[in-house]
Amino acid sequence: MSLSIHVFIFLLISSFSVLFVKAENQYKVGGEEGWRVPDDNNTDLYTNWASKLRFQVGDSIVFEYKNDSVIRVEKRGYYHCNESGNGAVFKDGRTVFLFDKPGLFYFVSSNFEHCKKGQRLMIDVMASHRPPFPGSPGPSPASSAAFTSYGGSVPVFAVAFSTLLIFKWAIKD
């Protein structure tokens, strides 16, 4: 085979590997509002925000806040605004949580009064991202998506394997 055929095969395999790229989304909690005490007439702010999105394993959420805090809690802590959570109380103004498994995740402000006023969040995380069908656009993240990163071992393997094949064939010719 000529070198141009090898290059063509490499480009073909590389372009198909893009179909398997897995996108993880990072969402800013509350969108433009951020993590704050909801207004009296908007106590369902975070429930409404989360209901508009689909969270999956590999996604993350960013809490951005001033003079406040966030803590991950169990179901009981969420409903009773009990701050005894699974770990530290974060007060740094920007906290990121990565969803590494499916299930329900609960977050509250460690300030009891803030939590009672609706500053709490429950997120249902689905199993994992599925690659989109070729040619069809996938669902776009809501306007509250802050960043999108790309990763995955399938594209890396495909490119590395096809590169090795090209060099092997080029050396034979």
pLDDT in tens, 132-169: 555 545 444 443 333 333 334 445 555 556 665 565 66
pLDDT in tens, 55-65: 999 999 999 99
Q: Where are any strands of DSSP class E within the chain?
A: 22-28, 55-56, 60-64, 71-73, 94-98, 103-108, 120-126, 145-151
* pLDDT, position 88: 80
pLDDT in tens, 4-57: 676 666 655 655 554 444 558 999 999 988 999 999 988 999 999 999 999 999
Closest CA to 6 of 155, 173, 160: 173
* pLDDT, position 112: 93
Which of 90-94, 122-126, 143-147, 168-172 bottoms out in mean pLDDT, i.e. has the lowest? 143-147
* pLDDT, position 143: 37
CA Rg value for the chain:
22
* pLDDT, position 24: 83
* pLDDT, position 46: 95
Partners of 1 in the β-ladder:
none
